[in-house]
Amino acid sequence: MLFFAPVLFGLSASLDALLLGICYGIRGITVRLWENLLISFITLLGTCLSIGFGILLMPLLPAATATILGSAVLIILGMYYLIKPLLAKLYLRLFPHKAKENVCEEDLPARTSLKEALLIGITLSVNNMSIGFGSGIAGLHPVPTAIITLLFSIAFLYLGNRMGRSRVFKFASRLADPVSGGLLVLLGLLQLLL
């Protein structure tokens, strides 16, 4: 469990980096090594801070309550990611004029810079904060989680950038939210049951 839970967390928390890499690849933009490292380290910092905050709150709660609360946060987030594609379809049916043809093309700049890499890293770390907080309360070990999350973030951003130049990106982008949600639900259940 010491190794398995951080791996699940790292996979789930890094899927946004995969999608970001895919979006840049679609536009023909190469994410350079220094940009990848900067984005990944900023993401890691935000994730570690949220895990640390969850760990600090753990002693204030009875052990069973902390585990249940942390697991519940992870499971609820996971369920949200699982139904997110359905909610998006419902939203587009209700508001068809709000649809964008290609999110990657409209939301990303034409090229990256230091400022953009910093903003992307901050955005990804904010996305991971609720997951990290729930994991910290649930008792996830911060050191292996931090290392594994960093490695997944670097690898996924690189792989996504390569995938974005191929036809595989359509398949990967559709599965990111459900896969992330499934991993979070599994992580929450494992933290609760083990």
pTM of the model: 0.69
Per-residue pLDDT of the chain (194 residues; tens, 9 = 90+): 557 888 888 888 888 888 778 777 877 778 889 999 998 999 888 888 888 888 888 778 776 777 787 778 778 888 888 888 888 888 888 877 766 544 554 455 555 667 777 877 887 777 677 778 878 877 788 888 888 989 999 999 999 888 877 776 666 667 777 877 787 788 778 767 76
Residue 192: C-alpha distances to residues 36, 59, 134 (Å): 34, 17, 12
Give the whole-angstrom CA distance, residue 54 versus residue 134: 7
